[in-house]
Amino acid sequence: MTGSETSPSFRLAYVPGVTPTKWVRIWNERLPDIPLTLAQVPADEAFALLRGGDADAGFVRLPVDGGDLSAIPLYAETTVVVVPKDHVVAAVDEVTTEDLADEIVLHPLDDTLGWEQPPGQPAFERPATTADAIELVAAGIGLLVVPQSLARLHHRKDLTYRTVTDAPESRVALSWPEDRTTDMVEDFIGIVRGRTVNSSRGRTQPATQKQQEQQRQEQQKQRKQKQQPKAKPQRGTTAGGTRRGGKGTKPRRRS
């Protein structure tokens, strides 16, 4: 950990399909004085962005292409096939790659599944992007197999999707340059891993102005309580408050 920050804010990149909203909200609650800026980048450009210093960390799709980037795997996505709503596949809950053998399956250049051999029959030309492939599915040109988050991202009313049970999964990870593991990166790692604000593995967070004021008021209250003199028993009374010669100390009559 370098312990030094070169940017006034924490810059977080994320690839299409990833929704960083929850982690951004927690960051803003814990570190309100450090703005977090978001940048969506194509999956195949995310690693170059991190290496170039244009982002402090990023949500990427594995595998990481090199040993200079650290990565924490977070989750694996269900893989689905996107089809027109009136397609025969829409009548079932799930399919296998074998079920798609006779279908034209589009394989965009920004594919994130890393197929050894894509299923189905190849199209005449590979679409440039997933968004372009979605348009071709809507036009009845072919089908598209993608991570479920991308099917949701490119949702259309005339399309639907079904799970492909034996397709590769896309895994999402948090990545950052290993030689730039700053305090802010450590803070964000703690948030993503679900550490509490007082976790011994995270940095101690500076108290906000409101918290500092509450602490000062509590300390002043405690000091006043310590300085306040203890009440002395009144003259003619015992320490317990019972008056000498009063009830409980009445002399016995001689017989």
- For the chain, what percent of residues have pLDDT higher than 90? 70
**pLDDT for 163:** 98
**pLDDT for 4:** 46
**pLDDT for 98:** 97
E strand or H helix that includes residue 185: helix 183-192
Using a 10 angstrom Cβ sphere, with 0-12 exposed, 13-18 middle and 19 or more buried, the burial of residue 101 is exposed
Ramachandran quadrant class, 158 (left: phi over 0; alpha: psi -120 to 50; beta: rest): alpha
- Report all structural domains of the chain as residue ranges with CATH numbers, in order of start: 10-76+171-192 (3.40.190.10), 79-168 (3.40.190.10)
pLDDT, tens digit (0-9, with 9 covering 90-100), for 77-105 = 999 999 999 999 999 999 999 999 999 99
Question: Mean per-residue pLDDT for 197-223?
Answer: 58
Band the pLDDT of 205: cuts 50, 70, 90. Answer: very low
Band the pLDDT of 119: cuts 50, 70, 90. Answer: very high
Report CA dihedral (160, 144, 116, 14) to the nearest 10 degrees: -80
E strand or H helix that includes residue 214: helix 209-227
**pLDDT for 232:** 57
Average pLDDT, the chain: 85
Among the listed residues 112, 102, 115, the one whose alpha carbon sits nearest the alpha carbon of residue 142: 102
Q: In what order do the strands lie in the sheet with 105-106?
A: 94-95, 159-164, 79-84, 143-147, 105-106
How far CA 97 is from CA of 28, 129, 163, in Å, comes to 43, 22, 10
Cβ–Cβ under 8 Å, residues 113 and 145: yes
